[in-house]
Every structure is written in structure tokens, then in C-alpha cells.
Amino acid sequence: MAETRDHPQALEDIRVLELADEKGLYCGKLLADMGAQVIKVERPGGDPTRDIGPFYQDRPHRERSLFFWHYNTSKQDVTLSLETPEGRGLFRRLAAKTDIIIETTLPGSLEALGLGYDSLAADNPGLIMTSITSFGPQGPYSQYKAPDIVGVAMGGMMTVCGEPETPPVQPYGGQAYHAVSCQAAIGALIALYARGLTGRGQHVQASMQAAVAFSTEFTNLWWIYQKLNLKRHGSRHGASGPGPVGNICHTKDGYICIMGGNPPLDWMEREGLAGDLKGHPYWSNPALRRDPQVSLHVFGLTDAWTRTHSKMKLFHACQAQQINWAPVYSLEEVHADPHIQARDFFVEIEHPELGARFEYPGAPYKFGETPWSIRRRAPLVGEDNSEVYGALGLSKEELALLAQAGVI
């Protein structure tokens, strides 16, 4: 079930207009699940992101996209054509009563429609516009469109993903989209705080390429300070070379991640599988730790031993010895994990039109006084047209005429 709400949510009095594609959906979700009234603005008939699979019961339909369901919880939805004068007028009226706009159009597109930040802020000086683009509004790539794979490629993340002998691979899970959405949400909230000090809004710019480059761990530092391009190490951590620290080892029933500390050499020796590891100068000699042949030898012996045990046995035994090893979970194991279950991470959300409840990933953070909560499932196409436009004073007859004209 969704978390109970005994207290107001953190952003309960904040209104957001979301005019976003895949780059900004998660930004809007983060704000919505913290309590903001996020109004998703779609083109009449529905946004293309509703066509992204997989689909509920494998039946492709704009109201059954599981991708869309996940990224649009707690949002309201209106349809609106910004290509019509009437649509632009309605958007301006909505923006005049809005705290934050999230938009992912190409730089200059909204200005060409007369809906740029300066124009809208003239009517609403407290407005915060958060523009999420592939490369930012300045520079030679500013007008380029780019999906997630381009973001991780040109942000520097992909070059260190994959096996040494193969081309780079795209990390799974929309990493560029999530990175820029998180940075955009942070920027919007900081601008909101600044507005509380100055009374004025501002234009926040978030670049997908820059967000990936910003979050690509220590690889940037190696280049900046030592002019070294780190190589791909497959499942091994790039900082440690191919030794056992930062490796994925086989087990009887899967894999275990080895990060930091020596393996349990006494345990390995008792079972006759330590080889020459106990007392090996590898553990104290930094030069040997960077020697590929020596570290591969150490890894080979460690992997041969881990194959004789289950990953959970290794996990619990090593954690008890303060050795930082962890099982590599399947998605089924993530759901069944007792720690995840104890924290009530997964929540059930009602889909009344389907007469069913569905499980969703829950809170990425928990608040002591202003609870996180998925308040509703993703909206249907234009589900809130009557409520949102009615609040602007439009009658049912006027809305019907606007729909007939293709404005909403």
C-alpha cells in the first residue's frame, strides 16, 4: 500500500507543469511523489512515451505502457497543442499560476512559440523554468537531439563499461536519463529555496551530457590530474585492476561481488583452497597489486574457492568478519530480500480502471515529517482536462469546442 500521510508532504503547495520526454520524466516523478501538483502536458491523443513497452499483459496500448506507468506516478494530465494560438494562450495562463516548469524541448523552441522563460516570467516573476536538454543551450551541439545511449557515450561513462577485448557497452537502466533528471530536480529545488530568499525565480539548465560527465565516478579525476584514460575491466572495478578487490566471482548458485579487504584466507586454507595466497606479498605490495599476471593468479584462486559455496553463505559469513562482499541479486531476489521487505520498499497502487492493484518501486528516500507517497497511478490521456482547465474558468462547452478543434 502507499505510505500513509499523517503530515503534509514536502512539496504539497508547489505546482509544476511538465512538458517532458524521457529525459525529464523522472524529474517530474521525483517532485510529484514528494507532494508537488505535477501537471503533465501532452499533445492531444497522448505523448509518444506512452508507446514505449513493455505493456501490461503484452497488449500494446497507450494506457498500458509499464514504462509510462512507472515514470508518471502521482501526476495529473492535460492534453494541449502548443502549435495552436489557443493552446499557447492556455499554456501561458497555466504558467502564470505555476511554480516550476520542467521542459525538454530543443533550445529556442519555446522562445519561437513566445513561451520562453523571459516571456513567461514577465507574467510570473517567481517562475522557475527547468530546461533539460541533451547538450545544453550553448555550444556546437546545442541543437542536437540525443537518446540515453548518446548521453552515456558522449558523457564518458560508456568507455569504461564492458570487457577489455570488446567494444564499449551501454550500461542498463537509462543511466543518462536518470542522471540528468536527478540533477534537474536538485536544481529546481535549489532555485525554489533561492526564491524564498529573493522572491524571484530563475531559469535552470540541465545538460544530459554534463550530468553523465559529472557522475562518472573517478574516471574524470584520473584524466584531469594524471592524463590517464582508464580501460574497461568488465565486471572488475577500474580502480583495482584485475585482482580480487572489485571483482565478480562465481558461486554455486550465482555470483558474489568482492569489494575491499582480503578474502577469508583462514577459511580458504581450512578447505585446502588457499593455494599460496596466505602470506603472499600481493597483499602488502602495491606494485604487485597492479601487476596483471599476479592479480589474475590471486583472482583465479579466489574464484575457484567461491564456486564451492552459495552466495548467501559467503555474504553472511564475510559480513560477520567485516569483509565487504555482497551477493549479486536477480530481480526476483531483490523483491524477496528480507531487508527490502523490512523497509516496506515496494508499494501497491490502485488502478481503478483495471480493477487491480500493482506493485511499484517505492521511496528512494524517507522523510521523518513530510512523507514520500505515490498518491495515484499514472494518469490517463487528458484525464484531468476538466479539473485543470475548469480552474481557469473554462466551461464544459468551451472544453468540448477546444477538443473538437484539436487544441486539447
Point out the residues that are catalytic. 237
Q: Could you give the C-alpha distances from 81 to 44, 47, 103, 207, 365, in angstroms and in order?
A: 6, 11, 15, 26, 36
Angstrom CA distances, 321 to 58, 326, 333, 339, stand at 47, 13, 24, 20
Instruction: Measure the CA–CA gap between 109 and 91, rounded to whole angstroms.
Output: 14
H helix or E strand, kind and range, residue 348: strand 347-351
186, with CB counted inside 10 A (0-12, 13-18, 19+), is: middle
Q: How far apart are the first and last CA of the chain?
A: 34
Report phi then psi at 40, rounded to 5.
Answer: -80, 130
Cβ atoms of 372 and 1 closer than 8 Å: no
Residue among 68, 57, 89, 48 at smallest CA distance from 408: 89
Rounded distance between C-alpha atoms, residue 27 and residue 177, angstroms:
9
**Residue 44, C-alpha cell as written in the block:** 492531444
Q: In Å, what is the CA distance from 55 to each residue of 45, 68, 220?
A: 18, 9, 38
What's the grid cell of residue 307? 564456486
Quick one: which of 385, 387, 375 has its CA closest to 407? 385
